Structure 1
């Protein structure tokens, strides 16, 4: 079992690295890049939702801000894309920390409402500030690889998103084994008790909120460079945040590979229905329906139900008291 658990990540990595060369056409490379992008974002969302239990539907705000931040630095200030990407993500992370100070003061449904409001506000700003963002007409971002044709560009961004996914997975794995991660889990199990015993719950939640936003902003910046055309209605859509939640819940928020598994199911399914049904709203309705079904009948996700958490690193089940013991003297 130990050999299998160690070989599994290597097998997945080998398949991922070889994927663009194994598929028969560039459309499947594009679909693969889109899936890996969502896997990275769902894993990033899980740094907040999986550890603290705070469900944010507003992470698409950080995706859109990362996209527009990168695009504006490249187009307005002529900053090289390799510099604009991390600078934009750092600015979004700082903003997320500031927002988090206010957002994490509320819990449950109130936190969900605040996260949705954040998406709405950023969307309105992006559409209303026409002189800077282009408004509803969008923003055109030049390709960082002008010498490549579209198919080769898909391949380049597939590997860039794959690197981002690897970094997000490594961060999740490290947090799950750290004192900080134990504090976040104590918050999820019993926040009031954790705070009464000296755990800095507010600081921990803000840090998790900002760390989660960092990777989502990086994904947004890469998306801007990849597609080259930003539509504020899409990049600030609550659907993007809902997909992160759905993928994480479907695969399993307690497991390292849970959001990845969810992305491997939801993203290709979304592409299939988009092609089969055309530009309709039916696939959006299906997404909402699947999210409801997952929450009602499989809240712990696929991996928790069918593998009994033996397919890779996961958050072990322990009581709130045991988690508090890990983070208090």
Structure 2
């Protein structure tokens, strides 16, 4: 009965997601839905590294920005169509992430966080400084993949593209969690030194997770470039994007498949609400930071594990029953 309820709930969620563009009353809510799916896909992608290995990267926005710029440059400079540009850019970013990961995963804890932040700063400076190729601080214009569609119809198309990417990432996470490779990653998270002493190739496992996570984040960045069609290096390489990935994953639960999705469903609409209600202020950034602090302090395992533990908590036995036992 419990499994049947889970499958029924999953089917209802999929049906609601597929119907969402047709039932929302205006284009702004459709835009917010696309943005939420984008963040859900990036957070789940981040969770392939952070959730399985425990390595917290704040620098995944570097891969998001590289995926966006790589897609745009292949279309504008090389003349490729949008699908080869999207896939080719993501593969190059994954290769770059693997090369960076060989050095990055040698450090742990706060040192790894600092290295990931430095990666964002370096890529941001590189893109802004290489004006002849990237357009510098003025950004890059990306041609539309669907020139015959207006802005509202484009939202419809990209809603389903991001939904497909999210499904692919979640399916990948699910397969990893049930594989021997996933067991090795979890061993790294629990005790890396002991896992290595037991024969787990920790370095290779971490680099693979790092590159796979970057691949999907780059795909999300490429779709963002095709959707927005105007790239601002200050935004696409912002550490805020990486922080949102961490926040959404922690809020929902990094050890659960649906944790990042739940976090995105809370954080992304809340951010849009603050933007609409308060205008172009920094309040939404302060609210996101405060929420991250509260989650780390009071709910470090996330909403889903906390709720599951609350529901399945056994009744306390009386002192007499415990003494008899």
Relative to the length of structure 2, the TM-score reads 0.94
Distance 1:116 1:9 in 2: 36
Distance 2:35 2:140 in 1: 20
Distance 2:121 2:201 in 1: 30
Q: Match of 1:88?
A: 89
Q: How many pairs does the alignment contain?
A: 311
CA shift for structure 1 position 308: 3.4
Alignment of 1:48-63 (within 5 A): 48-63=49-64
SS in 2 for 1:308: helix
Distance 2:204 2:31 in 1: 39
Alignment of 1:175-194 (within 5 A): 175-194=176-195
After superposition, the Cα gap between the structure-2 partners of 1:105 and 1:228, relative to the gap in structure 1 and judged at 3 Å, is same
Larger Rg: 2
Map Cα deviations across residues 149-169 of structure 1 (whole Å, 9 max, x no partner): 101101100000000000000
Q: Match of 1:214?
A: 215
Structure 2: stretches of 5+ with no match in the other structure: 313-325
Q: Match of 2:316?
A: none
Q: Conserved in 2, the CA contact under 8 Å of 1:38 and 1:263?
A: yes
Distance 2:272 2:34 in 1: 12
Q: Match of 1:295?
A: 296
Question: Given the alignment of the two structures, is residue 162 of structure 1 paired with residue 163 of structure 2, yes or no?
Answer: yes
Map Cα deviations across residues 240-280 of structure 1 (whole Å, 9 max, x no partner): 00000000000001110000000000000001101111111
CA shift for structure 1 position 189: 0.5
After superposition, the Cα gap between the structure-2 partners of 1:196 and 1:219, relative to the gap in structure 1 and judged at 3 Å, is same
CA shift for structure 1 position 9: 1.6
Structural RMSD (CA): 1.1
CA shift for structure 1 position 197: 1.2
Q: Match of 1:24?
A: 25
Relative to the length of structure 1, the TM-score reads 0.93
Q: Conserved in 2, the CA contact under 8 Å of 1:119 and 1:237?
A: yes
CA shift for structure 1 position 310: 8.8
Alignment of 1:1-329 (within 5 A): 1-308=2-309
CA shift for structure 1 position 307: 2.5
Distance 2:286 2:187 in 1: 35
